[in-house]
Amino acid sequence: MMNIISIIIIILGIFLIMKNRPKKRVENDFGDSKFEQKCINCHYLMKSIRQGGGPVRMPLTPIERQELLDNRFEFIEKSNLPWELGCYKNIWSREATPDNYKELYKNIVEKKRKNKCDFVKYEQGKNFEDIGKEDSVK
């Protein structure tokens, strides 16, 4: 009987801790109804690396987007490769180095892009080529 009461108390304690923990304020949720037209919410946010003849350009994963939103660049630091972050539509591109992480964060997470570029709301699992003009937000 004592073990059951202990387990119930532990479960209730965990529930109360989880329920009352401060929620992180996230303005951008990669496509929820409250999103703003910023690079962090745009499908065309990309990472690229020069290999061989030209750059290899890839969409950021949801985990990488969350890292950027949290002002962390671990996915770049762990790779030990000379990454660039930028726009697939060639609006901007910057080398990602510890010296310019602050500038990149401002450009990706804070700078509003409404009516300034071909903003397309991020959709997980789609490639750059999968996005058509009909999806553009103007």
- Render pLDDT for 80-133 as a digit per residue (tens, 0 to 9): 788 899 999 999 999 999 999 999 999 999 998 887 888 888 888 888 877 764
> Mean pLDDT over all residues of the chain?
79
Considering 9-18, 20-29, 61-70, 111-120, the range whose residues carry the highest mean pLDDT is 61-70
Contacts of 22 (CB under 8 A, 6+ apart): none
- Measured distance CA(14)–CA(35) in Å, rounded: 31
In the structure, what pLDDT confidence band is assigned to residue 21 with cuts at 50, 70 and 90? low
